[in-house]
Structure 1
Amino acid sequence: MVADRGYFKGEEILACHNADITAYVPKPMTSGAKADGRFNNDAFIYDAANNHYVCPAGETLIWRFSSVEEGMKLHRYWSSKCQGCALKTQCTPSKQRRIRRWEHEAILEEMQVRLSNAPDMMRVRKRTVEHPFGTLKQWMGATHFLTRRLEGVSAEMSLNVLAYNMKRVMKILGTSSLMKALSA
């Protein structure tokens, strides 16, 4: 299953994993730290064997406690050595850098490795999914719906998709082959 980063949600990716569905969903780029020029969480290396993180300065962020937030079990890690660190300004404006790790984070990390190893997955998705919507918007002038309720919008979208599919079939098979197939 391939989706764009707007559909990234840990619980749903876990559900795909549990249902033996291989998901390819890139992680959103929403780190405030990275936007401010500081290290984001990707700069910290998780050591699963010892259950701790190693920061860019080589210090260890140890597990401190776990909590449940919105039904998700989160583990908290930090180091007491941040105050004297030469990289502190690149890391955090707070007393110490704290990292939250979801109990199923390893599944998300596996998916990111899969995406890194298969960069064409997102290109294929864009070719197969984005193209019809772009065509509908430009060729048919369907920038917004003319109807207001779900029933009308659904009918309008169905007609647009039908017209798009007919156009594709005519392009692939030709008009005469399509007419023969329809009359059979």
Structure 2
Amino acid sequence: MAVNRSVNNQGDGTLYESSAFVYDAIRDNFTCPAGQLLRRKQLSLKDSRVIYAVQPSDCACCARKPQCTTARQRFVSRHLYEEPLQANASRLAASPGMMALRRQTVGHPFASIKRLIFGNARLLMRGTRGARAEFSLAVMAYNLKRVFNIKGAAWMHQALRG
């Protein structure tokens, strides 16, 4: 089930949800239920959100303002990557067993690698390069261990000899 990224947490729960506003991808703006335009106001990279706002003068004379906002103007935010998130949600809804299969497939390797690395509770090297190197060594050790368990010691010995 897709996460609802458009929850209206203002007011007493009777105000319009963000889903009541229609997004126009070509013009990159929203239209409110009363027909007013919400234009792009700011980009929040920290939250990966684009914030849209209607002009305060448009809200002041709107008959639907009590159902829309208690503030001077209405704001609606949209995730910066909303289209890919919606496409992914649709893909997951079309085949619900896909994530269960993925969890089964990758669960064991992640648990084993986590035990290998985080048995010590932290990485030994500092910095991104060091962490990447340490994690790469753990993945390589895991892969070698799997090959050894599947193919056997004799095959591994012969493969290493060339």
Q: Could you tell me the TM-score, scaled by structure 2's length? A: 0.55
CA offsets, 1:41-84, max 9 Å, x none? 564363659x635xxxxx4463233345369976446973141x
| Aligned partner (choices 40, 44, 55) of residue 66 of structure 1 | 40
Summarize deviations over 1:93-137 as a string: whole Å, max 9, x none: 646653235797545433432332244444454445554332122
Change in 2 beyond 3 A, CA 1:32/1:82: closer
Q: State the aligned residue count.
A: 146
Match of 1:144 among 122, 145, 161: 122
Q: Which residue of 1 aligns with 2:76?
A: 99
Unpaired segments ≥5 residues, structure 2: none
Q: Does 1:181 align with 2:149?
A: no
| Aligned-partner SS, 1:64 | strand
Contact 2:51 2:76 in 1 (8 A): no
Over the aligned positions, Cα root-mean-square deviation in angstroms equals 4.5
The share of aligned pairs that are identical, in percent, is: 26
- Considering only CA atoms, is the larger Rg found in Structure 1 or Structure 2? 2
TM-score (normalised: structure 1)? 0.50
Q: Which runs of 5+ in 1 are unaligned?
A: 1-25, 54-58
Deviation sequence 1:161-183 (CA, Å, 0-9, x none)? 22111111122222222222222
2:9 corresponds to which of 24, 29, 33:
33
Distance 1:64 1:30 in 2: 15
One-letter amino acid matched to 1:63: L
Q: What does 1:1-184 align with in structure 2 at a 5 Å threshold?
A: 33=9, 38=13, 43-44=19-20, 46=22, 52=31, 59-60=33-34, 62-67=36-41, 69=43, 75-76=52-53, 80=62, 81-83=64-66, 85=67, 94=71, 97-101=74-78, 105-106=82-83, 108-129=85-106, 131-139=108-116, 141-149=119-127, 152-184=130-162
Letter in structure 2 aligned against 1:66: R
SS in 1 for 2:9: helix
Structure 2 residue aligned with 1:11: none
